[in-house]
Structure 1
């Protein structure tokens, strides 16, 4: 009998990466999401398409079927029941959803304890976030009673995973075929910390999982250099009125800045972890070949969305910038990319997170905005350096482009 997995978060990574791989691996998948329009569509259509592109640009399509979908609010009791009965739970969430996910998992853990279930409850945590397991453990401690916390300590295993596949919004043609479709890389593996083996045997894991002994290192390497490059392309490209990632990557000046931001971060991470993660020129060549490829039309608005999260202290820019300063490296280009994030505007944004950064800069000024969004304490020398670099870069950008920044 096929095993059951609940994926909390049915967005592009949840359904278009994890869901597709689990479907191909023969798992019974339940998608859980707060977005009622999305869960209603999944329930009605009962399938969706994943358009994948190989490194050579070849396209393949997977039609994902045989799943269930529940809304985490409207179908809450059913959703919690699925969590309590699942062989495996996976998350694909943004940080602002962590707290609610912890509450939901706490409900499921309470049910399992009351039913005296002795089997392990394994949750593979997925998000572009440094400190993922630590934060979830802290949230669970807040949500669980002392009795449930004892059960949690003995029977629940929270494990970090690394969501690496780049997924993006479908093209107009793909959307016409299927509004639920996702397009992305042809990546068929998921990195998971090897402490998952405390609760699941290797033979019982999904076949696409690759075990890592240090996902914290993997996460920092991904977010603090790869995603830094990615978001620098997005923020600078949007400021230059570009639409797609490949257009930004083909711009000589933007590409040079993003490349140097990546190299600053890589040098700092090499100081932290050793030469094993030092980037090679061949790797950089392949990276730019991927980003300049126009066969995958990844929207800059998608890459740059929610800039307030991406400019937070432990995230894509401030995390590596502080690591640079701590290791005697000046993060000039990382901070230049960050400064462009304060220019981010998305006129079509549904969520206020894309609009708040412009409102904040107008309301309290750029200096206070940098301190508040980036969490920088200018009384600390290292943080003051990063603050000053971002502020100076922002001021230069505004002056060079004669920008009048407004919010309406």
Structure 2
């Protein structure tokens, strides 16, 4: 089996690419970093340091790489592979969509009518469905019908902390990851056979897992970063080592968890244990996870379907407490980082238009009382 994976960064190499290669899949990485591309093609392998209670080094093999700006090479690869995955960041999916469309059409014109499945492994809700919409913007009606018949657009939920780490001069491709990983895919969306990939779990109720991860891992991670930045620490593990921060992070995840319990009938005891597991992962002493890395891109994180506003909207839907989630929204609005374009844009928008206009513009919230509370807390 062959796979084309877009994104040869830490997450691509340390998570999805590794799971594919571990399952005997021949993996071609597509990226714009020519240095990494050359290194992959030179060494044909790299190490993954798995850190935790039983740290170890595992070697990933059966790999090669192409430049994703090399359209002929990408289209040629799409014609041959059985699976396409991505780990490029939500903002890049729309940029890649025209290239995907060209590659898929080239595959069909070449006469390859074997099913092809695409899985966007991103921190976003229904990322593959979003990618599909963008791809279809570049296809005719007839092409769309043919693609619908032969290409599966499979949504997924992914969870693994992969922070930046010091470069190993003996293995420049080496990446450090935590022990925990979770890759859950919607089995109802595949076309043809479902590949047997170690570490890829199947479900017919994906949204429950998507929101569980988004409302817990992503929400808690972000609150840890904001409170850690306020406390003047550099790493997430340092932030959650401060008891007041740990309790605030836990309280936030309990508010978002109450939404999940209502919406999906989660077992409260089991979800409480899941929250504790997340807190333990944040505290992993072997992971240097920078608070600015986690806190960056506040505009995206304030969007209606992301880790703050989506659970907050759920509390309004079910009439549940939301004090800590509101505090999280305020901290996102207050986030300042001159090296983060979104933080700069948000700050400038607030300076010109005011907080209330910013809240309505970026979050989509319409509840007057909640907006007033956010504005009051901000000021």
What does residue 282 of structure 2 align with? 291
Asked if the contact 1:239/1:343 (under 8 Å) is kept, the reply is no
Three-state SS of the structure 2 residue aligned to 1:236 is helix
Asked if the contact 1:239/1:340 (under 8 Å) is kept, the reply is no
2:332 is the counterpart of 1:334: no
* Structure-1 separation of matches of 2:159 and 2:6: 17
* Structure-1 separation of matches of 2:168 and 2:301: 27
What does residue 401 of structure 1 align with? none
* Structure-2 separation of matches of 1:50 and 1:346: 31
Matches within 5 A, 1:105-254: 105-170=100-165, 172=166, 174-187=167-180, 190-201=183-194, 204-254=195-245
Three-state SS of the structure 1 residue aligned to 2:137 is helix
**Greater CA deviation, 204-213 or 44-53?**
44-53
- Shift in Å at residue 361 of structure 1? 3.0
* Structure-2 separation of matches of 1:16 and 1:128: 15
Structure-2-length-normalised TM-score: 0.92
Asked if the contact 2:236/2:288 (under 8 Å) is kept, the reply is yes
* Structure-1 separation of matches of 2:41 and 2:336: 34
What does residue 394 of structure 1 align with? 378
* Structure-1 separation of matches of 2:186 and 2:74: 26
Three-state SS of the structure 2 residue aligned to 1:275 is coil
* Structure-2 separation of matches of 1:187 and 1:335: 29
What does residue 68 of structure 1 align with? 64
Tell me: CA distance 1:312–1:278, structure 2 relative to 1, closer, same or farther (3 Å): farther
What does residue 12 of structure 1 align with? 10
Tell me: CA distance 1:333–1:292, structure 2 relative to 1, closer, same or farther (3 Å): same
- Shift in Å at residue 308 of structure 1? 1.4
- Shift in Å at residue 278 of structure 1? 5.9
Three-state SS of the structure 2 residue aligned to 1:101 is helix
- Shift in Å at residue 264 of structure 1? 0.6
What does residue 86 of structure 2 align with? 91
**Greater CA deviation, 358-367 or 213-222?**
358-367
Three-state SS of the structure 1 residue aligned to 2:8 is coil
Asked if the contact 2:25/2:62 (under 8 Å) is kept, the reply is no
Provide the aligned length of Structure 1 versus Structure 2.
Answer: 379
Identify which of 296, 301, 308 aligns with 2:292.
301
Return 5+ residue gaps in structure 1 as ranges.
Answer: 396-408
Return 5+ residue gaps in structure 2 as ranges.
Answer: none
Tell me: CA distance 1:175–1:189, structure 2 relative to 1, closer, same or farther (3 Å): same
Matches within 5 A, 1:372-383: 372-376=361-365, 380=366, 382=367
- Shift in Å at residue 292 of structure 1? 2.2
Tell me: CA distance 1:12–1:132, structure 2 relative to 1, closer, same or farther (3 Å): same
- Shift in Å at residue 62 of structure 1? 2.0
Structure-1-length-normalised TM-score: 0.86
Asked if the contact 2:257/2:271 (under 8 Å) is kept, the reply is no
- Shift in Å at residue 124 of structure 1? 1.5
- Shift in Å at residue 159 of structure 1? 0.3
Three-state SS of the structure 1 residue aligned to 2:119 is strand
Three-state SS of the structure 2 residue aligned to 1:163 is strand
* Structure-2 separation of matches of 1:361 and 1:43: 47
What does residue 400 of structure 1 align with? none
What does residue 25 of structure 1 align with? 23
Three-state SS of the structure 2 residue aligned to 1:303 is helix
Post-superposition Cα deviations, 1:109-151, rounded to whole Å, max 9, x if no partner, equal: 2112212322111112211111324323322321211221111
